[in-house]
Structure 1
Amino acid sequence: MSEIINVSAIAKVEKEKIRNRIEGYRAEGKATPTLASVIVGEDPGSVYYIDMQKKVLESLGGTMLKITLSQDVSEEELLSTIGELNEDDEVHGIMVLFPLPKHISEDRIAMKISPSKDVDGVNPINIGLLASSTGGIAPCTPSSVVEILKNTLGMLEGINAVIIGRSNIVGKPLIQLLLRENMTVTVCHSRTKELKNVAAGGEVLISAMGRPMMITEEYVGKGAVVIDVGTSEKDGKIVGDCDLLSVMKKARLATKVPGGVGTLTTTILMRTLVDLYDKSEA
């Protein structure tokens, strides 16, 4: 029987673990884990996300610094701001919300964030470590996918996973994370031949394209687990890559959009912050 994965329940358990860790720090008289989130301009999506970060972190007992810079801030000013946060011992994680205005190089900004405070894994050092060793910091969205799979399937070793999408923020880091779990990983993209057949061969299918409602039952193997990472707007509504009603004809388990992977990402971001805090205290 097909079933929607209850991602909210997974997030609830993770939040309780994080809350207990932060309460433990307080009991020991230690500082509070602090995240500095930097936003340039007033993009509505970014404003919503940063406010959500603040709400979640403070509910867990942490602290967030919201740093808002004007849309016309110079690249050098932004780099200087990040440099100051890098040197601030009371800041344990730094996140700069992308996209940035066109006059600012996102690559330079990512490189400026200290690897030891890079809470969303955008610094090239963390990207390289993620690909080459057991180290590195992974972006929160692919980390959330792994957490959902672990909670749903338990041991992931040997399971055949198909990822559709090879972006730097989801697809590519997700490949590395799944390989660390000893899964067998196939990566598909816009040039993949016989995409439907390849996708249907996966015990786990993860779609991260941002193409609304593209994935139907034809892409899904019987009894597969389908994780929908894509988000798009269609007819004034937020939808995923999957046509859920169609997908559920074949899938054993699936996430929905909204209410799926995105429900967990902020929580995983906070878990990474607490992990960085532990390393800074070691």
Structure 2
Amino acid sequence: MTAKIISGREVAENILQDLKKRVDILKKKNITPKLVVVLVGDMKASASYVAQKEKFAVKAGIDSEVLRFNSEISESEILNQIDEINKDDEIHGVIVQLPLPDHISVTKVLNRIDPKKDVDGFTPTNVGKLFLGEETLVSCTPKGIMSMLESTGTDLNGKNVTVIGRSNIVGKPVSILCQQQNATVTMCHSRTKDLNAKLADADVVIVAVGVAKFINGDQIPSGAIVIDVGIHNIDGKLCGDVDFETASEKASAITPVPGGVGPMTVCALIENTIIAAERI
């Protein structure tokens, strides 16, 4: 079996076309969605990711601005900056690019963001609403994953989904989203005992454990759909949490790295910004 490649780039491009139509409607009401990205320090990976966000913003027709600060900025200065963003009615969405320098509390910073502008979906208010099944701004990577599964025509009703990774950013929220579509979800992580047994009856495998090639083809049930969230640079080559070559021989569909979940995460961020503007 040779797996179908689920191209995040292609799915994102299709979604962006629809998002632009929604932006055009807002602009007729004199509302132009605006996203602000707060970037602290000069990490190459963060800068690259921010550049992709700016590119997608242009395609969707929304405004975007990057506020860059050196790594020496104080925690209080960042918190004051977020307060100013919260008060600015022209700004509809804000994200703080992680990681932050050690002297700045991620918890304090995220909690300071107005939940209505929390387009990363990280504030306790939005996480709580997600858990309760209420309307909210959903975390971008989990939201992007669900869009990718939808693009394959997958109906999760009654399906077995195994999620490997329990982070607040991906594993936990994506498990909730799958349960909301009536999937039976098994949560695993790097310390799960007898992981192969947990994978044996999976219809969908979502891997976000943060370890290069943690899962290989021998562990993938024949015909399963595999979503690889990880990205690693090994000897100059990018790979994911899944060994793509062996897994693609067993899976019915699989996301590539790069070009899989990454573009969908950015696309979800743009959509959340538009949703925030639509709710005014």
1:13 corresponds to: 14
State the secondary structure of the residue aligned to 1:275: helix
Distance apart, 1:190 and its partner CA: 2.3
CA distance in 2: counterparts of 1:229 and 1:238, whole angstroms: 12
Greater relative contact order (Cα 8 A, min sep 6): structure 1 or 2? Answer: 2
1:3-46 Cα offsets, whole Å, 9 max, x none, are 212322211110001111111222x2412100011111111111
Give the TM-score of the pair, scaled to structure 2: 0.96
> Is 1:201 aligned to 2:201, yes or no?
yes
1:42 corresponds to: 42
State the secondary structure of the residue aligned to 2:116: coil
Q: How does 1:24-43 map to 2 (within 5 A)?
A: 24-26=25-27, 28-43=28-43
CA distance in 2: counterparts of 1:154 and 1:250, whole angstroms: 17
1:172 corresponds to: 172
CA distance in 2: counterparts of 1:245 and 1:217, whole angstroms: 8
Determine if contact 1:150/1:156 at 8 Å carries over to the other structure: no
CA distance in 1: counterparts of 2:167 and 2:279, whole angstroms: 29
State the secondary structure of the residue aligned to 2:85: helix
CA distance in 2: counterparts of 1:190 and 1:278, whole angstroms: 40
State the secondary structure of the residue aligned to 2:198: helix
Amino acid at match of 1:267: C
Unaligned runs of 5+ in 1: none
Determine if contact 2:35/2:94 at 8 Å carries over to the other structure: yes
Amino acid at match of 1:23: D
State the secondary structure of the residue aligned to 1:187: strand
1:229 corresponds to: 229
Unaligned runs of 5+ in 2: none
Distance apart, 1:272 and its partner CA: 0.8
1:42-98 Cα offsets, whole Å, 9 max, x none, are 111111111221121022211012111121111111000000100100000010001
- After TM superposition, the structure 1 stretch with the greater mean CA deviation from structure 2, 112-121 or 172-181, is 172-181
CA separation of 1:190 and 1:137: change in aligned 2, threshold 3 A: same
Displacement over 6 Å in runs of 4+:
none
State the secondary structure of the residue aligned to 2:95: strand
Determine if contact 2:35/2:273 at 8 Å carries over to the other structure: yes
State the secondary structure of the residue aligned to 1:64: strand
CA distance in 1: counterparts of 2:255 and 2:29, whole angstroms: 40
1:105 corresponds to: 105
1:134 corresponds to: 134
Amino acid at match of 2:164: I
Determine if contact 1:196/1:218 at 8 Å carries over to the other structure: no
Determine if contact 1:164/1:189 at 8 Å carries over to the other structure: yes
Determine if contact 1:128/1:136 at 8 Å carries over to the other structure: no
Determine if contact 1:41/1:70 at 8 Å carries over to the other structure: yes
1:179-200 Cα offsets, whole Å, 9 max, x none, are 1111111001123221012113
Determine if contact 2:7/2:256 at 8 Å carries over to the other structure: no
1:99-142 Cα offsets, whole Å, 9 max, x none, are 11111000000000000000001111111111123233222111
Q: How does 1:185-196 map to 2 (within 5 A)?
A: 185-196=185-196
Q: Give the number of aligned pairs.
A: 279
2:268 corresponds to: 268
CA distance in 1: counterparts of 2:260 and 2:60, whole angstroms: 21
2:161 corresponds to: 161
State the secondary structure of the residue aligned to 1:39: strand
2:59 corresponds to: 59
Identity of aligned residues (%): 38
CA distance in 1: counterparts of 2:263 and 2:53, whole angstroms: 12
Give the root-mean-square deviation of aligned CA atoms. 1.2
Determine if contact 1:94/1:117 at 8 Å carries over to the other structure: yes
